[in-house]
Structure formats: structure tokens, C-alpha cells
Structure 1
Amino acid sequence: MPYKAIIFDLDGTLVNSLEDISDAMNKVLLDYNYPTHSYETYQYFIGSGLHNLVSKALPATTNSEEQIESCFQKMISVYSERCSIKTKPYSGIIEMLQQLKAKNLKLAVLSNKADALTKKIVAEIFPHQFDMAVGLKTEATKKPNPFEALEIAKNWDLKPEEILFVGDSDIDMQTAVNAKMFPVGVLWGYRTDEELKLSGAQVVIIKPQELTSII
């Protein structure tokens, strides 16, 4: 079956946002006099939404629901102001998107980042490149729940089998499997080849240009 559309994860797939996310969370931690973390550590905190990242970043001794929520609200405020300072597309992404658009493929972003932030980053970094950008609206529909991916398919009037799902994490591959879309893992992001394949990746690519050959 020919593929007619592609859904992309955002962080670690289209953009390297690690430093902006890490810097914002570290500022929150410093404000509370808590220990901060390295970029390498944050690499493993990213993927399940900022609420989950805040929970992982806080010291275990102060990880109450009340404290998580307080730090989460502060994190959202800080990160909203600096979400595109250091965040940049990975090498080759812009060219790849142009090639895909030239093939008249539908393109969307689906992220576990808050919906408003997802839309803001996509609009600023990829103007007019995507037909849809969807972020996290409720915890209940967070990836790997396939709900939002299937809603995108419905919006396009396409079958899930006609859509590639591209991401850099186990969560993305699980989302693709759950939605019955074709899972494509990328190795320029935050996770490993082994993790992607164990989570259901049918193909793992090293460079963005390789995606066009799958189509």
C-alpha cells in the first residue's frame, strides 16, 4: 500500500530541543535550591511530556504531587519564554520536509509536549511545512495512546496503514504499533537502535534523506 502521509514526533525527531528544556528545568530547580542535571541526564527524561520530566528531575525526597504540580506550572512559564532560543532543526530536516511536500504527502507533528508549545515551536521553526501540529491536551491521550494519531488519520480521511509514524523513542514506536501505522525510528535523536527495534520499529534510519526512499 502506498503511503500518503507522515506523522512526526517533535523533540529528538525534527528538532533538538534538549538544551532549552534542560535549561528551563534547571532554572526551576535552582529557584527551589534543588540539584540540577546535565544535558545527558535530561536526554532520558524527555519523551513522556513535561509533567513527567518535572517528576523525574525533582529530588526523590521532595517528589510529592503538590510539589510536582507547583514546579510543573513554573516550568511551563519559564519554558514558554525560552522554548526556541537554542532549539533548532536537525541537519537535513528542512530539505527532507521540502522533498516530502513536493510529493504531495500530508505531514503532521504529534508530540507529548503541551499543545500550545508544540504549535508555537512548529509555527516558528517550520512555517507552512505541516498540515497539522498536535501536542498534549490531556494525560489520558498521551502517547503511546494512539488516540491523537488516529484522530489525525480521520481528519485526513486516511487509513492508519497509509501513514508512516516517525520518531526517536520507544514511546513513538509503541504509538505507531498501537495505531497500526508503519513505525520508522530515527537515530539522530535521544534513543538507541536497540530500543527502537525492541519497541516495534520496522525501519531505523540514520539520516533524514533516507525517509524519502521508504516513501
Structure 2
Amino acid sequence: MKFKGIIFDLDGTLVNSLEDISDAMNTVLKGLNYPTHTYDTYQYFIGSGLRNLVSKALPASDNNEEQIEICFECMIETYREVCTIKTKPYEGIIELLDNLALQNIKLAVFSNKADELTKKIASEIFPDYFDDAVGLSTEALKKPNPFEAIEISKKWNLKTEEILFVGDSDIDMQTAVNANMFPVGVSWGYRTEEELKTSGAKVVINNASELIEIL
């Protein structure tokens, strides 16, 4: 089958945002005199949305819903100001998107990052590449719920099996499977190749240009 569209995850797939996310969360933690975490630790906090990341970053002694909500609001405010300072596209991504645009492949972003921030990063770092950039607006629609991915396929008037879903995490691969899209894992993100394959990846690519071969 000829694939006609690609939905990309954002963090760990298109952009390396680890340092901006980590710095923002550590700023919040320092302000509350809580212990901070290393970039390596935050690598395993990313993927299920910022609220989930906040919960994982807080000390167990203060990990209650009230404190999570307070810190989440602080995190959003802090991260909004720094979300494109250190965040950069991975090697080969811009060239890949240029190539896909020439082939008239439909392109979108679907992230568990807050919708406002997803749109901000996608528009500032990748202007004019994506038909849509969708982030998390309702907790119930968070990946691996395939609802937003399927909605994108409807906007494109494509069958779900005509779409590649590209991501770096087990959650992305589960989303692809749930949406009946072709799951492609990337090895340069925040999870291991083994995790990706176990979660349903049919292919794991090691550089951006390999995606063209799949098409």
C-alpha cells in the first residue's frame, strides 16, 4: 500500500526538548526547595504529558493531587517561556520534511504535550510544514488513545492504514496500533529499540532518511 500521510510525535521524535523541559521543571522544584533531577532521569519522565512528568518529579512526601496541580500550573508558566531556547530538530529532520513536502505527503504532529505548547513549538521550529499540530487538551484523549490521530485521518480523507505513525516511545507505538496506522519507531529518542518493538513497532529507524525508504 502507498502511504499518503505521516503523523509525528514531537518530543524525542522531531525535536530534542529534553533540556528545556528538564530546566523548567527543575526551576519549579528549586522554587519549592524540592530535590531536582538530572537530564538522564527526565528522559524517562517524558512521554505521558507534563502533568504526569510533574507527578514523577515531585518527592513522594508531597505527591498529592493538590500539589501536583499547583506545580503543573507553575511548570506550564515556566516552560512556556523557555520551550524553544535549547529545543532543536534532530539531525536530518528538516531535510526529511522538505523531501516529504515535495512528495505531497500529508504531515501532522500529535503530542501528549499541552496543546498550546505543541502548537507553539511546531509553528516556531517547523513553520509551514504541518497541516495540523495537536497536543493534549483533555486528559482522556491522551495517547495511547487514538482519537486525535483518527480525527486527523478524517480531515485528510485518508484510511488509517494509509498513514505512518512515527514516534520514539512505547506510547506512540500503542497509539499507532490502536489507530490501525503503521507504527514506525525512531531510535534517537527517549526509549530503547526493544521497548519500541515490544510495543508494536513494525520498523525502527536509526536516521531520518530511512523514513523515505519506507514510503
TM exceeding 0.5: yes
Give the corresponding residue for 1:188.
Answer: 188
Give the corresponding residue for 2:78.
Answer: 78
Q: Matches of 1:196 and 1:30 in 2, distance apart?
A: 34
Q: Matches of 1:64 and 1:201 in 2, distance apart?
A: 35
Q: Which runs of 5 or more residues in structure 2 are unaligned?
A: none
Alignment of 1:155-194 (within 5 A): 155-194=155-194
Q: Which runs of 5 or more residues in structure 1 are unaligned?
A: none
Q: Identity over the aligned pairs, expressed in percent? A: 74
Give the aligned residue type for 1:68: I
Give the aligned residue type for 2:203: V
Q: Matches of 1:183 and 1:64 in 2, distance apart?
A: 35
**RMSD (Å) for aligned C-alpha atoms:** 0.3
Aligned to 1:133, the other structure's residue is in SS state strand
Aligned to 1:195, the other structure's residue is in SS state helix
Give the corresponding residue for 2:42.
Answer: 42
Give the aligned residue type for 1:93: I
Q: 1:136-172 deviations in whole A, cap 9, x for unaligned?
A: 0100000000000000001111110000000000000
State the 1:29 CA deviation. 0.2
TM norm structure 1 = 1.00
Give the aligned residue type for 1:34: Y
Q: Matches of 1:79 and 1:59 in 2, distance apart?
A: 20
Alignment of 1:58-69 (within 5 A): 58-69=58-69
1:20 aligns with 2:20: yes
Aligned to 1:134, the other structure's residue is in SS state strand
State the 1:41 CA deviation. 0.1
State the 1:123 CA deviation. 0.5
**Which segments of structure 1 move beyond 3 Å, counting only runs of 4 or more?**
none
TM norm structure 2 = 1.00
Give the corresponding residue for 1:108.
Answer: 108
State the 1:102 CA deviation. 0.7
Q: Matches of 1:129 and 1:154 in 2, distance apart?
A: 19
Give the corresponding residue for 1:119.
Answer: 119
Give the corresponding residue for 2:149.
Answer: 149
Count of aligned positions = 215
State the 1:97 CA deviation. 0.5
Give the aligned residue type for 1:117: L
Give the corresponding residue for 1:128.
Answer: 128
Q: 1:6-43 deviations in whole A, cap 9, x for unaligned?
A: 00000000000000000000000000000000000000
Q: Matches of 2:137 and 2:156 in 1, distance apart?
A: 20
